[in-house]
Amino acid sequence: QVQLQESGPGLVKPSETLSLTCTVSGGSISSYYWSWIRQPPGKGLEWIGYIYYSGSTNYNPSLKSRVTISVDTSKNQFSLKLSSVTAADTAVYYCARDEPIRGVMDWGQGTLVTVSS
């Protein structure tokens, strides 16, 4: 079981780009899929997208135009960029190890990102 830790600014201004990094420990980032999932306060889970260690990606169509997920295997990290944010993007953002079809196997503790001026 790997451990995942999100890091990045907790406050982002409207229209700017949200950037988060997930550091994976206790295992290699290679050979797995890695997802970002978010949860607005008091609401349910929304999958943002995943990246395979090789770099191939799959994004939620509702966010695809604003999302970029990248991976840095040398640092055992993967990252999320969400552009042109609004208050609706305020949420707890989780990084996770994903096994598509089977389930989201391991989750980070989550980080709250607030979009506000």
Work out how close the CB of 98 gets to another protein at its nearest, in angstroms, rounded to a whole number: 8
The 10 Å CB-count burial string (b at 16+, else e) for 21-32 is bbbbeeeebeeb
For residues 29 and 97, which CB has a smaller minimum distance to another protein in the complex? Answer: 97
For residues 89 and 106, which CB has a smaller minimum distance to another protein in the complex? Answer: 106
Q: Walk across the sheet containing 18-25 and list its strands.
A: 3-7, 18-25, 77-82, 67-72
Instruction: Give the interface with another protein as residue ranges (CB under 8 A).
Output: 35, 44-47, 50, 58, 60-61, 94, 98-110
* 33-39/46-52 β-pairing: antiparallel
For residues 1 and 74, which CB has a smaller minimum distance to another protein in the complex? Answer: 1
Work out how close the CB of 51 gets to another protein at its nearest, in angstroms, rounded to a whole number: 13
Work out how close the CB of 57 gets to another protein at its nearest, in angstroms, rounded to a whole number: 12
Give the residue from 31, 51, 43, 26 showing the smallest Cα distance to 108.
26
